[in-house]
Chain A
Amino acid sequence: MENSLKKHRVGWFYIMIPVLAIALFYFYPMLDALLLSFRSGMGMNLEFVGLLNWKRLLSDPNFITALSNTLTYLVIQVPVMLVLAMLMSVLLNKESLKFRGLFRTAIFLPAVTSLVAYSVVFKYMFSPDGIINRFLMDLSLTDAPIFFLSDPFWSKVVIILAITWRWTGYNMIFYLSSLQNIDKSVYEAARVDGANAIQQFFKITMPMLKPIILFTTITSTIGTLQLFDEILNITDGGPGNATLSISKYIYDLSFKYTPDFGYAATVSYVIVIIVIILSAIQFKLAGEKE
């Protein structure tokens, strides 16, 4: 026993460096933020308030709107995006398809554009005299321009469209890479047994992709919960607070209003809690034993 400890001393030393770095740069700030969430006040004048921030949270209509908006994005956008990504990856994996590389690049390209740049483009596309409105009016689908960004419903739609455009290709790449790892003989065997394309998809492709589906669901969920750039640049949370997300609200509390970093930390911990809960549910549903 003692001998093995000695033997592994060098190994322990190597592992200590990243462990200390992670503790210092991840766990310490997390712990500090937790302590901060029990304090409140303007700027530097923070004082301990106990659970007051958490009480305030429950009766804060802005926070509740931000939470329900974020969950709306989550519930609508993540499934739509993942189904689209899956569909495209299966299509683009077809050997018989011409110009596959071109299509793959085209669909993946949005994922490498800057968040701010594409948000601004979306904002102008959906402005009252933007290209979308002109298109709709030229086709006589509407008489007057639709005020996409001044309408509580349409502004949410624009945000969902924007993030779907940005992230579908990114998720598609994961599916594509794992599709290529599925042994072709499995499909051949299925065809010999008389399975049609739909049966092959649901009985072979889906189960084989399960770990990747789980991974993309979790990362997309976390990504949507942290939604910020698009909100700030496309709608600035408006009209009213119809598109406000939790992250945007944290930003407002820290930098737009008179700073209350304590309460902002409380709100940010809500995201942590939601992420933990949702991830646990997703693991359970996917049936991961470990």
Chain B
Amino acid sequence: MKKRLFIAILLLTMLLPACSGKKTETNADAGSAKGDGAGTGAGTTVTAWAWDPNFNIRALELAEEAYKGEIAVNLEIVENAQSDIVQRLNTALSSGTPKGLPNIVLIEDYRAQSFLKSYPDAFYPLTGHIDADDFANYKIEATSHDGEVYGLPFDTGVTGLYVRVDYLEAAGLTVGDMTNVTWQEYIAIGKQVKEATGKQMLSLNPNDFNFVRMMVQSAGQWYFEEDGSTPNLEHNEALKEIFRVYKAMLDADIVKLNSDWSQFVAAFNSGDVATVPTGNWITPSVKAEASQAGQWRVVSLPRLQTEGGLNVSNLGGSSWYVLNQDGKEAAAAFLADTFGSNVDFYNTLLADVGAIGTYKPGIAGDAFDQSDDFFGGQKIYSDFTSWMADIPAVNYGIHTYAIDDILKVEMQKYLKGEDLDTVMASAQAQAEMQLR
């Protein structure tokens, strides 16, 4: 009897995950069935992969509505997690066949060069379809290879410093005191805020180098020389300064550590931190906590005290790529007619999804001049677009994430007390040996 009960419970528990597995499967089926249903009309079927239903997938849907090109296009949008897209592209392209891959795919700018160099001829150049001068300079740098533009730049990762006015006021400070500051000044203010409110200044994940990448670009530098492949770590003054700032922030005890994205978001939604220095794409997450309306402002990012240190930078952002297979002309035409030239579309994009594009004529519309009550009536979008123009263009190269992982280890050593020049030399040596 007992045995039978045991087996029954066992079977039940094994069935439960099986059921949930089935459920997601039918969801996926339903999704593609819907796509098929929409694709019954005449025209070329164009598949597109993206990862965020509230952001880039929504943007594709809006683009489909806005599309008025000559070639009839049936757009089929498939949602995949970003890491799944990267994996699928790598497996399919390395097997030498684009079978099963979409026509349009969204790729993060940091990874773009890696794909373009690893799989030559796998992507279809868009040089003839768009005018590269119409887009933010730094985006074209990231999406080009061998003189051809392969990516149609999508969103910008222009950065800002989100600050809590109430916490600043509690410390006797104003938003003006936080504007155009250096990181050293930022740390000094952080100490004051902590003393007055007991709140930490920012939340960081030691295993996520977003913060470092954002700061290094603000000085017009990257992990590599301009060629995108020679590691530039040992003598990279900007990078060294970032390490010093990072340590100083931890020593000043103004950092709330997190270990994943949801904890990072929770840190500012719960009011535990006074500022969030990051890309503008965090705006919807900040606004998600409606009870904090009116308390937030956005000022320019603090700058590094090194040569060329600016108060603007970029963090993340992605672009659309067309795969070199049947349907590429239709896919390119679709992108060129919407993301590549439609000014009104960019206004809709901002009003509907809050996405700031990188198409210069498109970011001057009325929607960008609106004030936002959540940010105390500040015109945050026009601020962001004005900063965007100054973002230094850098070559992200092909090994960004590999260098990230090398630096993470060296950062831990440095925080434990090793000499800065030693850890940087060690990082340089590893990078030179491992990456070629």
User: Which residues on A are within 8 Å of B, measured CB to CB?
Assistant: 42-45, 56, 59-62, 65, 100-101, 104-105, 108-109, 112-114, 117, 123, 127-128, 147, 149-150, 152, 235-242, 252, 254-259, 261
Q: Determine whether the beta carbon of B402 is less than 8 Å from that of A258.
A: yes
> Is the CB of B147 closer than 8 A to any CB of chain A?
no
Query: Does B71 lie at the interface of the complex (its beta carbon under 8 Å from any beta carbon of A)?
Result: no
Q: Are A109 and B206 in contact (CB under 8 A)?
A: no
On whether the beta carbons of B13 and A256 are closer than 8 Å, the reply is: no
Min CB distance B434 to A, Å, is 6
A216 to B257, CA, bound (A): 39
Provide the bound-state CA to CA distance between A43 and B408, in Å.
25
Interface string of B397-424 (1 = CB under 8 A from A): 0110110011011011000000000000
Q: Footprint of A on B, CB under 8 Å?
A: 2-3, 5-6, 9-10, 13-14, 17, 83, 86-87, 90, 93-94, 96, 114-115, 117-120, 122, 206-207, 257-260, 263, 398-399, 401-402, 405-406, 408-409, 411-412, 430, 433-434
Inter-chain contact B119/A43, CB cutoff 8 Å: yes
Nearest CB on B from A147, distance (A): 6
B13 adjacent to A235 (CB under 8 Å): no
Beyond A42-B117, A101-B3, is A257–B399 a contact (Cβ under 8 Å)?
yes
CB pair A152 B13 closer than 8 Å:
no
Are the C-beta atoms of A127 and B10 separated by less than 8 Å? no
Q: Which residue of B lies closest to A249 (CB)?
A: B405
Q: Which residue of chain A has its CB nearest to the CB of B426?
A: A61
Known: A59-B433, A239-B206. A147 touches B257 (CB 8 A): yes
Q: CA–CA, A259 to B90, complex, Å?
A: 7
The answer to whether A112 touches B14 (Cβ under 8 A) is yes
On chain B, the residues within 8 Å of A252 by CB distance are 402, 405
Question: Smallest distance from the beta carbon of A21 to chain B beta carbons, Å?
Answer: 21
Question: Are B93's CB and A44's CB within 8 A?
Answer: yes
| Bound Cα distance A261, B94 (Å) | 9
Distance to closest chain A CB from B272 (angstroms)? 10
A240 touches B90 (CB 8 A): no
Tell me which residues across on chain A come within 8 A of B207, comparing CB atoms. 150, 235-240
Do B118 and A123 have beta carbons less than 8 Å apart? Answer: no
- Minimum C-beta distance from B99 to chain A (A): 15
Closest to B86 in A: A255
- With contact pairs A114-B17, A240-B411, A258-B114 given, residues A43 and B94 touching in the complex (Cβ less than 8 Å): yes
B198 to A: closest C-beta gap in Å = 14
Question: Which of A65, A113, A235, A255 is within 8 Å of B90, CB to CB?
Answer: A255
B258 contacts across to A, CB distance below 8 A: 128
Question: Which A residues are CB-close (under 8 A) to B114?
Answer: 42-43, 257-259
Chain A residue at smallest Cβ distance from B14: A112
In Å, the complex CA distance between A108 and B257 comes to: 35
CA distance A128 to B266 in the complex (A): 12
Complex Cα distance, B263 from A236, in Å, reads 15
Which residues from chain B contact A56 at a C-beta distance below 8 Å?
433-434
Instruction: Compute how far the CA of A218 lies from the CA of B434 in the bound complex, rounded to whole angstroms.
Output: 33
A43 near B412 with CB under 8 A, answer: no
Docked CA distance A56–B436 (Å): 11
Could you say which residues of chain A place their CB within 8 Å of the CB of B3? Answer: 101
> Nearest-CB distance from A23 to chain B (Å)?
21
> From B95, which residue of chain A is reached at the shortest CB distance?
A44
A112 pairs with B412, CB closer than 8 A: no
A108 (CB) vs chain B CBs: closest residue: B10
Closest CB in chain A relative to B123 CB, distance in Å: 12
Top 10 A-B pairs ranked by shortest CB distance?
A43-B118, A238-B207, A101-B2, A257-B402, A258-B114, A240-B412, A240-B409, A149-B259, A42-B118, A101-B6
| CB <8 Å contact, B118 and A239 | no
